[in-house]
Amino acid sequence: MTAAAPPMSTKALLTDVTTVRLRPRYEGSNICTWIGFKHVNYLVEEAVLVHFAESGTPARRLYEEHGLGLDVVALETRILHAFHMDDVAEAEVVPDTEDDDRTLGFRVTLRVERDGSFLKAVAAKARVSLRADTYLPELGEPPAEFAPFVVDRLGAEARTGELAPIRVRMPDGDEAAVLASLTEGRNAYAWKWNIPYPYCHFTERLQMSGYLRLLEEAKDRFVLDRGISIKTLLDERKWIPVVPQSSVRVLDEAVMEEDLYSVYTVEEIFKDLTYTARMDCFVVRDGALTLTATGRITHGYAVIDNRSDWRLVPFDRRVLDALGGEQSGT
């Protein structure tokens, strides 16, 4: 006979520090043996999920017993040292939630062993909402101490001030007009995409990992449009894109099979070595664009020296012109 699990509490979740060893997924090694930024963020997310489980509040139990979907609604990540295939990360999760916060906050540090010592490889911040499920019948009230972090819709805590979702009237059903309006007067690329179920979770909504995949795709589409695609610079120069910093914030919900309009805008180029870009994601509701997520990413380029080493290189005129040039299409 299996003993009943003890009642869930936020005490350990909000106070205990969790340390876990994680290995980046093989899928994330796309060029030589380096692990891309998306999969580094996956490690951060996995560390937070382990922290919930170790604190007695695993995601499965939250959902099955209390109808609460664990949603990572914000990730901000700095990559200080690259991860390689077969590296093992030592992940430390420190709770970082203030008394009046509406989301659960965590600071995550990933360390990696190099030459017999552990280096701080990643510093990240994550925030989590507990989304009350409305797809299936209600299960009753969750424990009272979880109530401050329960929302009926993702992004509820962000709908004030500068993070309030944008709503702009648009020609109903006119895809070309929507794309043109999103890129007009901006150094940007935009495209429409129908949200498939593999990008979603809890039966209906786009999850954080889906937005990370979109952020990666946005860069790929932008440089292809500007004539400096990933493969072009790899074949011609052995240049690869590198990412020292990224962030994504969910401001509203995007639902399976909705059309999502994504815009990738280059904002600033720093000393010919890195550039920052913003990604904004919109859905059309009631004839208006509604912002569901926003993210930023910093990119540079490195040249492959051999199968295990690379070094940063400055942008040349061709790359600078492409990054700062006029939009050539959507």
One domain, residues 259 and 304: yes
One domain, residues 171 and 263: yes
Domain extent for 173? 163-329
**What's the N-to-C CA distance of the chain in angstroms?**
61
Count of C-beta atoms within a 10 Å radius of residue 43? 26
- Contact (CB, 8 A) for 302 and 314: no
The conformation of residue 255, written as its DSSP 8-state character, comes to: B
Collect the ranges in the chain with pLDDT lower than 70. 1-4, 158-173, 326-330
The predicted pLDDT at position 245 comes to 98
Query: Please, what is the Cα angle at 239 between 80 and 220, to 5 degrees?
Result: 85
The predicted pLDDT at position 173 comes to 58
Mark which of 159, 186, 215 sits at the end of a domain.
159
The predicted pLDDT at position 288 comes to 84
The predicted pLDDT at position 159 comes to 52
- Count the helix, strand and coil residues of the chain and give each as a percent rounded to the nearest 5: 30, 40, 30
One domain, residues 264 and 314: yes
Q: How far is CA 189 from CA 165, 179, 181, 280, in A?
A: 20, 9, 11, 11
Total number of domains in the chain: 2
Identity (one letter) of the amino acid at 322?
Answer: A
One domain, residues 237 and 297: yes
The predicted pLDDT at position 177 comes to 84
The predicted pLDDT at position 176 comes to 85
The predicted pLDDT at position 171 comes to 55
Cα–Cα nearest to 40, from 205, 233, 279, 216: 216
Residue with tokens 């006119």: 174
**Residue 289 domain flag:** yes
One domain, residues 206 and 311: yes
CA distance 13 to 297: 29
- Contact (CB, 8 A) for 95 and 55: no
CA distance 237 to 159: 45
How would you class 234 by CB atoms within 10 Å of its CB: exposed for 0-12, middle for 13-18, buried for 19 or more?
middle
The predicted pLDDT at position 169 comes to 61
The predicted pLDDT at position 285 comes to 85
**Residue 2 domain flag:** no
Identity (one letter) of the amino acid at 76?
Answer: E
The predicted pLDDT at position 119 comes to 96
One domain, residues 149 and 198: no
CA distance 30 to 97: 36
The predicted pLDDT at position 68 comes to 95
CA distance 181 to 79: 34
Report the CATH number at residue 105: 3.10.129.10
